Amino acid sequence: MKRRSIFLNTSSTLGFLFLYLPMISLVIFSFNESKLVTVWGGWSLKWYGELFQNEQIMTAAWLSLKIAFITSTLAVILGTMAGYVLSRMGRFRGKMILSGWIAAPLVMPEVITGLSLLLLFVAMESVFGWPAGRGIGTIIIAHTTFCLAYVAVIVQSRLSMLDETLEEAAMDLGAKPSSLFFLVTLPLISPAIISGWLLSFTLSLDDLVIASFVSGPGSSTLPMVIFSKVRMGVTPEINALATIMIAIVCVGVIAAMYQMRRQAKLTAQFK
């Protein structure tokens, strides 16, 4: 038993080191005065200054944040509808098709999604004249389409865990379908909706491949700018940017953990 736990501890410590060493090195080298990755030139905030003065990165970051915000809001609305339809609306014609269309974007290679959407936009433009050119609008549509699938899956699994008696009670008391949804179901699935929104936001903010296909001239998102910079070599400003992102995510994860622990304590008290 003892020998096994030593083996378990070492191998999982190595696993966690494998996961975290690259990220830690990004954080440390973002404070490096020297431009060379492996030469330590002393602590400095120089690259953070350069990052905020880099107009190309800042414009792209602002554009990506805007796209991510609109995308995740749209994806949450459409995805919640899809998840609700699939788990609460019984049988209807085309249910199999809808559930297939929800599952498929999750396994679709990004290059195929990107290419097919671009070809659709080009074809639509030549037939209907819309969308005229490509840019923020087409990126938002593309991102919403794959994010809504993630939201639908999260909402669906939350709904399947929920006790349906609450909704039945509301119906027995004469709630209309719309008020049943907004007053009973929606508050109950709000954690799933929040995590769906956050997940969509991250997915949209991080997407390089699909955005590269469907964006137009002048609408380079942050991952597109990072990709073109990184291809030319390691740039310390990107280290600074990565550190800021990691810090934000850490704060978010710690807050979520704190919330989970508090909830666990509360349920323990009620028991």
Partner 1 sequence: MKALTLPESLMQILSRLTMRFNIFANVKWGRVSVISVPTIWLAIFFFIPFVVVLKISFAESAIAIPPYTSLFEWDPEDAFLAIKLSFANYIYLFEDTLYIEAYWSSVKIAAVSTFFALIIAFPIAYLIARSDPQKRILLLALVVLPFWTSFLLRVYAWIGFLKKNGIINETLMSMGIIDQPLALIQTDLAVYIGIVYTYLPFMILPLYTALEKMDITLLEAAEDLGAKPFQSFCLVTLPLAVPGIIAGCLLVFIPAVGEFVIPALLGASDTLMIGRVLWDEFFLNRDWPMASAVATVMLIMLVLPIMLITNRTEHKEGAK
CA dihedral 240, 246, 251, 255 (to 10 degrees): 170
Residues with Cβ within 8 Å of residue 93, at least 6 apart in sequence:
none
Rounded CA gap, 155 and 81, in Å?
9
Name which of residues 56 to 95 contact partner 1 (CB under 8 A): 78-79, 81-82, 84-85, 89, 92, 94
When asked if residue 136 is in the footprint of partner 1 (CB under 8 A), the reply is no
How does 142-177 read in b/e, with b if 16+ C-beta sit within 10 Å?
A: bbbbbbbbbbbbbbbebbeebeeeebeebeeeebee
> Is 98 one of the binding residues for partner 1 (CB under 8 A)?
yes
Residues 185-204 that bind partner 1 (CB under 8 A): 202
**What's the closest the beta carbon of residue 50 comes to partner 1, in angstroms?**
17
Task: Say if residues 186 and 199 touch (Cβ distance below 8 Å).
Answer: no
Q: Which of 161, 169, 186, 264 binds partner 1 (CB under 8 A)?
A: 264
The nearer residue to partner 1, 2 or 42, going by C-beta atoms, is: 2
16 binds partner 1 (CB under 8 A): yes
The token pair at 180 is 């049943």
Nearer CB in complex with partner 1: 177/187? 177
Q: Which one, 46 or 84, has the nearer CB to partner 1?
A: 84
Q: Report d(CA 96, CA 84) in Å as an integer.
A: 14
On whether the CB atoms of residues 196 and 97 are closer than 8 A, the answer is no
Q: Is 169 one of the binding residues for partner 1 (CB under 8 A)?
A: no
Site for partner 1 in 218-237 (CB under 8 A): 223, 226-227, 230-231, 234
- Which parts of 99-128 interact with partner 1 (CB under 8 A)? 101-105, 107-113, 115-117, 119-120, 122-123, 126
